[in-house]
Amino acid sequence: MRLEEKVALITGAGSGIGRETAVLFAAEGADVVAVDIDDAAGEETVKMINGAGSEAIYVHADVSQDAECEKMVRVAEEKFGKLNVLFNNAGISHAQDDDAINTSEDVWDLTMAINVKGVFLGCKYGIPALRRAGGGSIINTASFVAVLGAATPQLAYTASKGAVLSMTRELATIHARENIRVNALCPGPLYTELLMKYLNTEEKRQRRLVHIPMGRFGEAKEMAKAALFLASDDSSFTTGATFLADGGITAAYVTPE
């Protein structure tokens, strides 16, 4: 198993990429700390893992709050004795996110607080824990829109993911000689509740699909497998990477007929 004797903390573990990753990491031998603000969803993820014979605990934490990020890391170490993998995955794509003219300041601030500050705070408390464990892997969920602009306006989200990508590069550089690897997982458009709430009409969905050479949305399970590579020793010489799993969207100017 690729994560045997590892302890992994995953934010946004109640749904989507976070849940699929938590379940996969557990199946690969990791003890899992599932973090979310939706208690019912987070507890359901833990139930799925424990029911399959692996060990997981749930921690309620709002990643935009300093004290709650400190708590989630502290609980992980108290319960399992160490932390080896930190997956800063929690994020939002607000339905009212739009262009610069039409995006409200409240939407902008909320998006930045969760998507950017949440990664910063996760690393603020997670990196010392990884040091205590002798090193480890940090995975930050960015997005293909950190590399490309979005086909439909979502300025706060795009800017936030660009910040995650640049933060990841600097963290990777600073901590490389501490045996701490930091990589950005950049999913393409996925068939998840998060994106489908935003792409809420067939016109919006088709506008996005036309740019994907593979002609379909990705699945959260596919992103979990990418995260597993970045979490495991299989990626031992990989740090500071913009790890694109995007169906080819960033490679293509236009989609082939």
pTM to 2 decimal places:
0.95
Q: Is 157 considered catalytic here?
A: yes
96 phi, psi to nearest 5 deg = -100, 10
Please report the pLDDT score of residue 257 as a whole number.
Answer: 52
Domain ranges of the chain: 7-190+220-235
Enter the DSSP assignment of 190.
B
Q: Give the C-alpha separation, 190 to 246, whole Å.
A: 9
Please report the pLDDT score of residue 197 as a whole number.
Answer: 74
Across the range 244-250, mean pLDDT stands at: 96
Please report the pLDDT score of residue 196 as a whole number.
Answer: 77
Enter the DSSP assignment of 218.
B
Q: Please pick, among 157, 191, 198, 253, the residue that the annotation labels catalytic.
A: 157
Which residue stretches of 113-153 are H helix?
118-132
pLDDT tens digits, one per residue of 178-217: 999 999 999 998 987 767 776 788 888 887 788 889 989 9
Please report the pLDDT score of residue 3 as a whole number.
Answer: 98
Task: Name residues whose C-beta falls within 8 Å of residue 247's C-beta, 6 or more positions apart in sequence.
Answer: 188, 189, 212, 213, 214, 216, 217, 218
* CATH superfamily of domain region 7-190+220-235: NAD(P)-binding Rossmann-like Domain (3.40.50.720)
> How many other C-beta atoms lie within 10 A of the C-beta of residue 99?
10
Across the range 127-131, mean pLDDT stands at: 98
Lowest mean pLDDT among 58-62, 72-76, 133-137, 206-210: 206-210
The overall average pLDDT reported for the chain is: 95
